Amino acid sequence: MHDENSVIFKGTTNGINVWLDEHADLDALKDALRLKTLEAKTFFEDAETAITFSGRPLNKNEEAEMLDIIYKETNLSISVTEPIAAREGYDSLAARLGLAPPSILRSRNEQLTYYYEGALRNGQSIRYNGSVVVLGDANPGSEIVARGNIIVMGALKGLVHAGCTGDAYSYVCALRLTPTQLRICDIITYIPEEKKNRNKNTPSYAYIQEGVIYIAPLNHG
């Protein structure tokens, strides 16, 4: 049994704060969270937001489980989660040192990866707030846009955009790197037809150096 008020969503300038009743038991909280999320689903739509938890302290596993519920029920892309206590501690420290409070919308490139199994076909697209791994081909006409890196374990023939929110350290890697168009950060390029044949059988990656996209075979590390 769960109490209707054991979970409360609060909108803050930094995203959504989920308050959890300290006295409720974890399973009841999960049920309540699922219900609350479903109710708020249309409100959330596919916004990009940060989520923090307050109230009942959660360990890493519990936090992951809670996030999983929100992930499953909504199309939210969640950019960061931090226990609010830690953040407040930091804030007060920052305030003492006269620094601006840190932005909670910190990118989680390294943490979040989306795995897609199978061929990504013409007209299909993946947009993800993190890195993307495709276990299969990405055919011409497909689109992968990621905030982090893009790795295609197959032939990459569609359009890719790594580091789409401005991360110039993002890279694109594929067993056959022959995209229709290649974008990293805000640089757009394409591979000329005659060079595509050269890339055919060498797993390669593309990265930015001094404002130019370079392509190198993987074995050159």
Partner 1 sequence: MGEVYVVTSGKGGVGKTTSTANIGTGLAIVGKKVVMVDADIGLRNLDVVMGLENRIVYDIVDVIEGTCRLKQALIRDKRYSNLYLLPAAQTKDKSALSPEQMQKLCKQLREEFEYVIIDCPAGIEQGFKNAIAGADKAIVVTTPEVSAVRDADRVIGLLEANDLRNPLLVLNRIRPEMVKRGDMMTIEDVMEILAIEILGVIPDDESIVISTNRGDPCVADDSSWAGRAYRNITRRLLGEIVPLMKLQQEKGFFGRILKFFRFGS
Residue 153 contacts partner 1 per CB under 8 A: no
Q: Least CB distance from residue 216 to partner 1, whole Å?
A: 25
Of 67 and 120, the one with the shorter C-beta distance to partner 1 is 120
Q: Least CB distance from residue 173 to partner 1, whole Å?
A: 20
Sequence-separated (6 or more) residues with CB below 8 Å from residue 173: 149, 150, 151, 152, 203, 204, 205, 206, 218
* Site map 157..196 versus partner 1, x via CB under 8 A: x---------------------------------------
Q: Least CB distance from residue 114 to partner 1, whole Å?
A: 17
Residues that bind partner 1 (rule: CB under 8 A) add up to a total of 11
Of 82 and 137, the one with the shorter C-beta distance to partner 1 is 137
Of 89 and 123, the one with the shorter C-beta distance to partner 1 is 123
Of 40 and 119, the one with the shorter C-beta distance to partner 1 is 119
Of 33 and 156, the one with the shorter C-beta distance to partner 1 is 156
Q: Least CB distance from residue 142 to partner 1, whole Å?
A: 8
Residues 90-149 that bind partner 1 (CB under 8 A): 119, 121-124, 137, 139-141
- Which residues contact partner 1 by CB under 8 A? 119, 121-124, 137, 139-141, 155, 157
